[in-house]
Structure 1
């Protein structure tokens, strides 16, 4: 089976402050790093020889996966001292590549069948095959035009509104032949697939094809797409691993409730699934979790607090009578009593929000920020 190269070196600036303490592929998604979902899918389809290209906070990834044996795969690492671009990161891993290889981003969640793409690639005799998918808003992606034989005839990265000529977007999943490296300028510092390599392949009619995929795909690059991926996994729009244990339905507990180990559930707690509750978490009396909520390991939810469609990462505390909706709370945070956190809020780690406070929608709060009691936060911090 061919080698898979996972690009996992980006800084994830659009997901700050979550990426101040970890690389974007290591952000927990339903209590597993985003990139772990990718590795698990590769393994399930027989792709067990993996190279990860790393740069920003590379040690976080290496410490988590090590050689991959704990997951039944073999992982090697190619670490860039400085960012080399998407193409440059793969070029640096060239010494590990001798035959046809798969490339994908470490922050993409998809159910594309890699074996089907490989067959398409071989049938076309392609040098490069891009997995493409229809999108509503092409401005965040590269877009392509195909001829009747699925050959890519035009490509543009992140077009402005007046430049859009297609809604068929690049998913960041590719299959290449080793000949792809013939189109690289190895003397150049940063090399980008979308801005340099793909246009050159088109110009030289070198065999670049598009495999149009109409299944599930999510580029988890912004808080809203991160929450969407969370909700889609919980609602089983895409099947990813979740805790095996499910709570039995009973009074106050309805829907799918996936649970880790050693969880305390107090009196009159109401849980409306789909919900995930991590290991060693504590739900105090009268608290309520509603659909779309993910609770990390070691989280405390205080008396009569309500969590709606939010992600609360490990070792955070939400004290009594607080209300959180559609937000992302990073690790080791403290939300004091009688606090309201509105939709779209993202906090960094070790943030403390004083009691009787309100954090208005879509605000971002950086790591280790302390907000005094009785505050109204209506700007990014």
Structure 2
């Protein structure tokens, strides 16, 4: 069985970070999320991947290549025009096994696949949708199910008193390939709004089961920050790189951190980072690889991607900086989101 990773979205709500970058390539704990996802799935026995790409596909293809570096095999299904979630799956049909897994690659999670597969085999239907439970279902498409888990209908953004459940589509599916006959070729089609309701109408057996473990859509800047804060306070248990130097402080290799620097946990510092005297880093700060931070810098609740340079006296609070940014001396930045994409290399 192979896995299809949907990585073709434009990532508009994360701009400017995704202006020239596919959203699943945004860094999570100083590595592209898509890399974390492939490693996570490989640990669960998946070795063959198809990645559906559209927005700057060369960034993903140049980074992963054939997947040999990660001990997996990767093929690419390139969309010439935007095809939507179902259209992207249909476009990848030649590469897919008779039964396959589909994952929205911009969902950050630690989901175990085996229970989903076991449930799919038991019910015998054409599709299994991984579901997650939310406190407020009014912003989502909510499912109504029978006692065996069969999905009867989707209710889009219901009022709280009208919601049939608090279960929503988690963006993870198991599908039988024969279900793709219901998706027209080379058309923009939504699997959530069009294909799944059609399969229910045709009686093909669309089932859902609640998946356990961490789950977060990183589609907005607020959620992107939340993922990192959850990582740092270990609500999300993705392994963090570097050695732990005191509770809540992780430091990478070959760092030059002046003895007068104050690190306020939780903090994650990448490899080859330089930090000047009397700077204060943290709490809740992530510093990417090869960054240089000058003297008397204050950095709190901030995510900084690789190769950034912050000159002396800079103050950064609740910011997100993309690759290769240079921040001039004594700038004060609050809730800034800035990006200047450099060359991404594996």
Q: Report if the CA contact (8 A) 1:155-1:199 is conserved.
A: yes
Please give the alpha-carbon distance, in whole angstroms, between the structure 2 residues aligned to 1:274 and 1:136. 27
Please give the alpha-carbon distance, in whole angstroms, between the structure 2 residues aligned to 1:256 and 1:100. 42
Partner residue of 2:328? 336
Please give the alpha-carbon distance, in whole angstroms, between the structure 1 residues aligned to 2:157 and 2:62. 34
Within 5 Å, give how 1:79-158 maps onto structure 2.
79-157=78-156
Within 5 Å, give how 1:47-58 maps onto structure 2.
47-58=46-57
Q: Give the C-alpha shift of residue 231 in structure 1.
A: 1.5
Please give the alpha-carbon distance, in whole angstroms, between the structure 2 residues aligned to 1:349 and 1:300. 16
Partner residue of 1:30? 29
Whether 2:250 is the aligned partner of 1:258: answer: yes
Q: Give the C-alpha shift of residue 205 in structure 1.
A: 2.3
Please give the alpha-carbon distance, in whole angstroms, between the structure 2 residues aligned to 1:346 and 1:159. 32
Partner residue of 1:316? 308
Partner residue of 1:348? 339
Q: Report if the CA contact (8 A) 2:242-2:270 is conserved.
A: no
Within 5 Å, give how 1:183-194 maps onto structure 2.
183-186=182-185, 189-194=187-192
Q: 1:233 to 1:84 in 2, by over 3 A?
A: same
Higher relative contact order (CA 8 A, sep 6+): 2
Please give the alpha-carbon distance, in whole angstroms, between the structure 2 residues aligned to 1:129 and 1:176. 7
Partner residue of 1:70? 69
Partner residue of 2:229? 231
Q: Report if the CA contact (8 A) 1:329-1:348 is conserved.
A: yes
Q: Deviations over 1:99-150 (max 9, x none)?
A: 2110001111112210010001101112001011111343553321111111
* Unaligned runs of at least 5 residues, structure 2: 342-346
Q: Which of 283, 289, 298 is 1:291 aligned to? A: 283
Within 5 Å, give how 1:196-275 maps onto structure 2.
196-247=194-245, 254-275=246-267
Partner residue of 2:344? none
Please give the alpha-carbon distance, in whole angstroms, between the structure 2 residues aligned to 1:295 and 1:112. 27
* Unaligned runs of at least 5 residues, structure 1: 248-253, 351-381
Q: Give the C-alpha shift of residue 181 in structure 1.
A: 0.9
User: RMSD over aligned Cα, in angstroms?
Assistant: 1.9
Q: Deviations over 1:250-273 (max 9, x none)?
A: xxxx42322222211113111122
Partner residue of 1:378? none
Q: Report if the CA contact (8 A) 1:134-1:214 is conserved.
A: no
Within 5 Å, give how 1:293-308 maps onto structure 2.
293-308=285-300
Residue 197 of structure 1 aligns to a residue whose secondary structure is: helix
Q: Report if the CA contact (8 A) 1:121-1:175 is conserved.
A: yes
Please give the alpha-carbon distance, in whole angstroms, between the structure 2 residues aligned to 1:268 and 1:260. 18
Q: 1:24 to 1:95 in 2, by over 3 A?
A: same
Range that drifts further, 315-324 or 215-224:
315-324
Q: Give the C-alpha shift of residue 308 in structure 1.
A: 0.9
Q: Report if the CA contact (8 A) 2:110-2:238 is conserved.
A: no
| TM-score, normalised with respect to structure 1 | 0.85
Q: Report if the CA contact (8 A) 1:255-1:272 is conserved.
A: no
Q: 1:59 to 1:160 in 2, by over 3 A?
A: farther
Please give the alpha-carbon distance, in whole angstroms, between the structure 1 residues aligned to 2:172 and 2:97. 19
Q: Report if the CA contact (8 A) 2:98-2:178 is conserved.
A: no
